[in-house]
């Protein structure tokens, strides 16, 4: 049986509590616009997360959150480009303010899956090997991001259009999502011991890599292979 360390226990407890809160807010307050509910949940997550790390005096926790939060804010740009320029991503009117075509809560929403993905990579790296960590990060990226695409349209939050899809999952974005997860992990491994300001250009580079990958695989699948 695997014995959990303090960091692992804290992450599991925190996200269990947050998951319960999400269920309550989403299901019990249906009279409030979904965008406003999601914005509230994102604010709670990104306020309580660093506070938890601060009071627990856990620098690893705070460092991991800060990098993923900065990257999450930059992720507005790929979402904006895919929705406004390529017209393959839709953020319906949901009661939340927008950055161009992107719902405002998206600026902080990416923090949640990215934190979990990095957490998985960090723990597997400590318990097994670097190769196992990267493999686990790739699998976690597919499960988390693919699961989000398959379910969040039900709220509704965002959804894909005008691309080849398997159910509600856009095929072109699967590899870029793996690239996002693995590059986020690789970048964090490189800069986690460096000053906090380094996280800003590092996160910007990861965002650009994801955006370029999304555009390439969209062009490859939709324009070259499918010939549209």
pTM for this model (two decimals): 0.95
**What is the Cα–Cα distance from 209 to 182, expressed in whole angstroms?**
11
pLDDT at 153: 80
pLDDT at 214 over 70: yes
pLDDT at 209: 97
Nearest CA-CA partner of 70 in 111, 40, 117 = 111
Three-state secondary-structure class, residue 126: helix
Helix (H) or strand (E) holding 200: helix 199-218
**What is the Cα–Cα distance from 86 to 74, expressed in whole angstroms?**
18
Please identify which residue in the block is written with the tokens 């923090």.
111
Q: What is the mean pLDDT of residues 40-47?
A: 97
Q: What is the pLDDT of residues 171-210, one digit of tens each?
A: 999 999 999 999 999 999 999 989 999 999 999 999 999 9
pLDDT at 228: 58
Q: What is the pLDDT of residues 130-179, one digit of tens each?
A: 999 999 999 999 999 999 988 888 888 899 999 999 988 999 999 999 99
Q: Do 113 and 161 contact (CB within 8 A), yes or no?
A: no
């Amino acid at each position: 049986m695997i014995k959990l360390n303090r960091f692992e226990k804290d992450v599991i407890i925190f996200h269990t509590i947050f998951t319960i809160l999400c269920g309550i807010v989403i299901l019990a307050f249906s009279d409030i616009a979904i965008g406003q509910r999601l914005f509230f949940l994102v604010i709670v997550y990104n306020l309580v997360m660093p506070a938890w790390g601060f009071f627990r005096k856990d620098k690893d926790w705070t460092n991991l959150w800060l990098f993923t939060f900065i990257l999450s804010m930059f992720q507005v740009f790929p979402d904006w480009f895919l929705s406004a320029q390529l017209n393959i991503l839709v953020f319906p009117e949901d009661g939340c303010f927008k950055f161009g075509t992107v719902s405002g809560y998206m600026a902080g929403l990416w923090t949640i899956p990215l934190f979990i993905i990095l957490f998985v990579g960090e723990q597997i790296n400590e318990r097994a090997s670097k190769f196992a960590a990267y493999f686990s990060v790739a699998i976690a990226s597919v499960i988390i991001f693919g699961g989000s695409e398959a379910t969040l349209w039900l709220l509704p939050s965002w959804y894909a259009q005008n691309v080849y899809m398997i159910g509600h999952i856009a095929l072109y974005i699967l590899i870029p999502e793996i690239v996002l997860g693995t590059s986020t992990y690789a970048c964090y491994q490189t800069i986690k011991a460096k000053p906090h300001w380094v996280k800003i250009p590092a996160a910007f580079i990861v965002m650009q890599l994801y955006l370029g990958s999304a555009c390439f695989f969209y062009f490859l699948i939709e324009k070259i292979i499918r010939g549209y």
